[in-house]
Chains A and B, each alone.
Chain A
Amino acid sequence: MKTRDLVHVALFAAIVAALGLMPPLALPFIPVPITAQTLGVMLAGSSLGARKAGLSLLLFHLLVAAGLPLLAGGNGGLSVYVGPTGGFFVGFLPGAFVIGWLTERAWSRLSVPLAFAINVLGGIGVLYAVGIPWLAVAANLPLAKAALGSLAFLPGDCVKAAVAASVAVTLKRAWPLIQPPRPAGATSAPPSSTPAASPAPSSPRR
């Protein structure tokens, strides 16, 4: 992993945290404001790709578990995990990973509808798949009731997926980070395994 990749991992963990600290994003077409943290998860996945997005969210988990109040509403510490909504938070990591993995696969033909489908699958499907059973166990609720309660978040999450999808497609034009999967050995730049005493050998992506 190059230094650049490490920095990306760190900065996207910071983006997820900063979006949680911020007052909710105001959207034009929905009166309910939307907390932006899961949006950060979707953005990390669709900008960084599976591996870096996964590491990024793992880093975020470490910071929260260590007691830093980085979740929306100033929440943090181990109590986040034992609480009823802990599963949705835990789902951040696999969610971002799945979004990243699918985005890498779809990269060369990424369109807004496709990116939306990917973000729904990873950011809603995976997140809820972890969160709803967790809620059912932690709160002693029947699974169906837990699922029904979570439906309240579905509209907001769909809006977030739509926003993340258009951001992902715009970012693909403005500053692409993901390369489509290529056959092995086709990389042009030599991997920098030597200590970088000279300026960084990697080419800037401009």
Chain B
Amino acid sequence: MSLGVYLHRDSPLHAVPAGAKMLALLAAGTGLLLFRSLPVVSAALAVTLGLYGLARLRPREVAPVLRLSAFVLGPLFLMQVWLSGWVFALESVLRLAVLLLLATLVSQTTRASDMLESLERAFRPLARFGLSPARLGLLLSLTLRFIPLLATWLREIQEAQRVRGLERNPLAVLVPLLVKTLRTADTLADAIDARCFDPEEPS
């Protein structure tokens, strides 16, 4: 499993802090929502393509990410043409394309770890709901570690139930998966406690 869409380059865009890029994306999204005329959207598209050049990303590297969006944008365009005419269709689909391009650009020029860090800062006010940075760090690393493990368990359980002829019964797959997960959670919590992690620590 490849983690993330980040592509390393030595460019000014890669050097911009993650938080600033996300705020810029938010601003661009709002701006494009308010001013959605064709000239504005075309200009935005030109600027976006310019930014890709600035980030030194080649079209070949961006294409796979965009192929996914094409499946949504194509039918949407046809539907808009049918519903409300060419100009409107072009406006709304181009706007969406620009937004998708910009968001992809942010993801491709920002390391997942940098992005997480700035998101953590943004969510700091949530500390009073029990999400202090120390806990968040533990949560993130636990989750990342457990995604491949859970995928393996899911496959194992499906195989075991196939032997019993039960692999098409979602209940027979999901209940063991959840019980196994919860049992692991108990063991894991004990292990973490035994190593003196203090979840109450206000750090």
Q: CB within 8 Å of B: which residues of A?
A: 1-4, 6-15, 17-19, 21-22, 25-28, 39, 43, 47, 51, 55, 58-60, 62-63, 65-70, 73, 75-85, 137-142, 145, 163, 166-167, 170-171, 174-175, 177, 192-193, 195-197, 199-200, 202, 204-205
Given A83-B69, A84-B72, A1-B140 contact (CB < 8 Å): no
Given known A-B contacts A82-B29, A82-B103, A83-B100, A65 and B119 have beta carbons under 8 A apart: yes
A21-B147, A163-B174, A200-B189 known; A65 vs B115 contact (CB < 8 Å): yes
Taking CB atoms, residues of chain A closer than 8 Å to B104 are 77-79
Q: Is A4's CB under 8 angstroms from B185's CB?
A: yes
A177 near B182: Cβ-Cβ < 8 Å: yes
Chain B residues within an 8 Å CB radius of A12: 181
Interface 0/1 of B173-192, CB less than 8 Å to A: 11101110111111011101
B178 — nearest CB in chain A belongs to which residue?
A: A171
By beta carbon, the residue of chain B nearest A176 is B182
Question: How far is A12 from B149 in the complex, measured between Cα atoms in Å?
Answer: 13
Give B174 Cβ to nearest chain A Cβ, in Å: 5
A177 to B185, CA, bound (A): 12
Q: Which residues, 46 to 100 on B, are CB-close (under 8 Å) to A?
A: 65, 68-69, 72, 76, 79-80, 83, 88, 91-92, 95-96, 99-100
A43 to B182, CA, bound (A): 13
Q: Does B83 lie within 8 Å of A145, measured CB to CB?
A: yes
Contact of A27 among B99, B170, B193, B194 (CB under 8 A): B170
Contact of B100 among A4, A67, A82, A167 (CB under 8 A): A82
B interface residue numbers (CB < 8 A to A) = 1-6, 22, 25, 29, 33, 36, 65, 68-69, 72, 76, 79-80, 83, 88, 91-92, 95-96, 99-100, 102-104, 106-107, 110, 112-113, 115-116, 119-120, 123, 126, 129-131, 135-136, 138-140, 142-144, 146-147, 149-151, 154-155, 167-171, 173-175, 177-179, 181-186, 188-190, 192-194, 196-201
Whether the Cβ atoms of A55 and B130 lie closer than 8 Å is yes
Q: Which residues of A contact B175 (CB under 8 A)?
A: 167, 170-171, 174
Contact B197 A3 (CB under 8 A): yes
Residues of B within 8 A of A205 (CB): 186
In the bound complex, CA of A59 to CA of B104 (Å) = 21
Task: List the A side residues contacting B136 at CB < 8 Å.
Answer: 59
In the complex, which residues of chain A have a beta carbon less than 8 angstroms from the beta carbon of B181? 11-12, 15
9 contacts between A and B (CB under 8 A): A8-B185, A14-B146, A55-B129, A73-B68, A76-B4, A78-B25, A82-B100, A175-B178, A196-B194
Work out how many contacts link A and B, with CB atoms closer than 8 A: 232
**Chain B residues with CB under 8 A of A67:** 4-6, 107, 110, 112, 115
A34 to chain B: closest residue by CB: B170
Return the 5 tightest CB-CB contacts between A and B, nearest first.
A140-B92, A77-B107, A10-B142, A79-B103, A14-B146
Q: A163 vs B83: C-alpha distance in the bound complex, in angstroms?
A: 37
**How distant is the Cα of A142 from the Cα of B92 in the complex, in angstroms?**
12
Query: How far, in angstroms, from A109 to B30 measured CA to CA in the complex?
Result: 46
Query: Chain B residues near A78 (CB, 8 Å)?
Result: 22, 25, 103-104, 106-107
- B189 partner, pick from A3, A27, A58, A170, beta carbons under 8 A: A3
Contacts of A163 in B (CB 8 A): 170-171, 174
Are B169 and A28 in contact, CB atoms less than 8 angstroms apart? yes
Shortest C-beta distance, A123 to chain B (Å), equals 15
Contacts of B155 in A (CB 8 A): 22
